[in-house]
Amino acid sequence: MKFTLIFRVATSPGQLPMPLAASMDDEKDSDLEKFKGQAKKIMRQTSTTSPPQCTIEAGTYSFHYVIVDAPGSSGAKICFLTLAEKGYPRRFAFDYLDDLQKEFLQLHGQQIDSVERPYKFITFDTFIQKTKKLYMDTRANRNHLKMMSEDLRDIQGIMTQNIQEVLGRGEKLETVTNKSSTLSAETKKFKDKATSLYRDLLLRQWAPLLVVVLVVLILLYFFWT
């Protein structure tokens, strides 16, 4: 596992996702920084309607994520995302995420709704690093999985996507959002202008009559007084 990110999923339009924890001592290289940037884009594009489990292929690497409900919350969801080499067994990757979510929810599950600052649970990195080391040796994992065969997940039904499709869909969504905002602004501007024109029309239409009525009332006032 090259990189791991845990975040609260945006549950409504306009709401931003909230990063909660991440692995901290990953090796520093330009490729990893590029994938971290892609992970953040995936984070911004993930929503409550996203697949609960998914693999996103990104060249020689793959992103794997699971989305779960935060316990005792009002609809909050948490995404556990990791980056692994493409040849790394998917079963191990999702078992790794499963171990992370069980521990994280037990420790912090009840606090998710109240989180207001990014990476509030950054100390969870200690558990991430310990678990990552456990899953780095695939031979050890084979023995572990053999012992735990009754609990193995079925990964056949997990959706697989391509990173370009995911990021491209996000760019299209951003474009549509921008166009929608522009259209709303133009609609409001047109409505305001139409209201102003209608008011001016009424004024020009009724002003002469109002002047006549006012003159008549003034004359009647002087006549009767």
What tens digit of pLDDT does each residue of 167-177 get? 665 544 444 44
pLDDT at 145: 53
Other CB atoms closer than 10 Å to residue 72's CB: what's the count? 11
The pLDDT confidence band at residue 223, using thresholds 50, 70 and 90, is confident
Structure confidence by residue, pLDDT tens digits, 62-96 = 999 999 999 875 788 999 999 999 889 888 999 99
Instruction: Name the most confidently modeled range: 6-15, 117-126, 171-180.
Output: 117-126
Between 109 and 124, the more confident residue is: 124
Question: pLDDT tens across 148-188, in order?
Answer: 544 445 555 666 777 677 666 554 444 444 544 555 565 66
pLDDT at 150: 42
Cβ 115 vs Cβ 98: under 8 Å: no
Q: Indicate whether 25 pLDDT > 60.
A: yes
The pLDDT assigned to 175 comes to: 47
Map residue 35 onto helix, strand or coil: helix
pLDDT band at 138 (very low <50, low <70, confident <90, very high): low
Q: What is the pLDDT of residue 173?
A: 44
Q: What is the pLDDT of residue 181?
A: 53
Place of tokens 């911004």: 44
Binning the chain into helix, strand and coil, the percentages to the nearest 5 are 60, 15, 25
The span from the CA of 153 to the CA of 82, in Å, is 17
Q: Which residue has the higher pLDDT, 147 or 158?
A: 158
Does residue 146 surpass a pLDDT of 50? no
